[in-house]
């Protein structure tokens, strides 16, 4: 899976802002995450990255993920007692974790809801992000389909 030109340009610009350079490993890992629709774990990103770059190590994948997080090109998705997952969607949204399948789905919420949530904290606080996660299970025929 060669990295798409728009991903390469985005990656190079973000790395440049931090004084970092692009490497083939960073390009491959970013491409895997940018194209993922399933919120993959680091292990899943490692397996997918090896399809493009068989010599990449798990440690290198973790280092690349840390760099991509630092560049704010991707974000982590965390659920209690589950592996950290990664996604390229930086827009405000929530997540639903299906306890039955382990699948993670984006949940689009009205923009005004985020503003309402940030007003719940003390006025002197500065909110940098809101993380909202749902857990449960969905009937088999609904899994993977938007509501």
Tokens, residue 7: 């991903």
Task: Report the C-alpha gap between 139 and 15 in whole angstroms.
Answer: 42
Indicate the pTM of the whole model.
0.84
Instruction: Say what percent of the chain tops pLDDT 90.
Output: 67
- The residue that leads in pLDDT, 129 or 46, is 46
In the predicted model, is pLDDT for residue 108 greater than 50?
A: yes
Task: Report the C-alpha gap between 110 and 94 in whole angstroms.
Answer: 10
In the predicted model, is pLDDT for residue 146 greater than 60?
A: no
**What is the per-residue pLDDT across 75-91, written as a single tens digit (0 to 9) for each?**
999 998 889 999 999 98
**What is the per-residue pLDDT across 1-50, written as a single tens digit (0 to 9) for each?**
567 777 889 999 999 999 999 999 999 999 999 999 999 999 999 999 99
Instruction: Say what percent of the chain tops pLDDT 70.
Output: 93
Q: State the virtual CA torsion across 60, 66, 68, 74 in degrees, nearest 10.
A: 120
In the predicted model, is pLDDT for residue 92 greater than 90?
A: no
Task: Report the C-alpha gap between 143 and 126 in whole angstroms.
Answer: 36
> What's the rounded mean pLDDT across residues 94-104?
92
Buried b (16+ CB within 10 A) or exposed e, 86-98: bbbeeebebbbbb
CA neighbor of 103 nearest in space, from 76, 43, 143: 143
Residues forming a β-bridge with 98: 136
| Residue 114 to residues 110, 117, 120, 123, Cα–Cα distance (Å) | 8, 5, 10, 15
Least confident piece of the model among 19-23, 105-109, 117-121, 139-143 = 139-143
Instruction: Outline where DSSP puts E strands in 36-83.
Output: 75-77
Residue 134, pLDDT score: 93
Residue 144, pLDDT score: 52
Q: How confident is the model at residue 147 (pLDDT cuts 50, 70, 90)?
A: very low
Write down all domains in the chain, each with its CATH number in brackets: 5-77 (1.10.10.10), 92-136 (3.30.1490)
Task: Report the C-alpha gap between 103 and 92 in whole angstroms.
Answer: 19
């Amino acid at each position: 899976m060669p990295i798409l030109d728009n991903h390469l340009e985005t990656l190079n610009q973000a790395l440049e802002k931090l004084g970092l350079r692009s490497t083939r490993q960073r390009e491959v890992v970013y491409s895997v995450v940018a194209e993922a629709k399933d919120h993959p774990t680091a292990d899943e990103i490692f397996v997918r990255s090896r399809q493009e770059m068989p010599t990449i190590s798990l440690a290198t994948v973790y280092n690349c993920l840390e760099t991509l997080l630092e560049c704010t090109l991707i974000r982590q998705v965390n659920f209690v007692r589950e592996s950290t997952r990664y996604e390229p969607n930086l827009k405000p949204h929530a997540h639903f974790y299906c306890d039955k399948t382990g699948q993670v789905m984006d949940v689009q919420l009205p923009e005004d809801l985020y503003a309402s949530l940030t007003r719940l904290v003390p006025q002197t606080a500065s909110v940098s992000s809101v993380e909202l996660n749902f857990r449960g299970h969905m009937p088999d025929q609904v899994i993977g389909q938007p509501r």
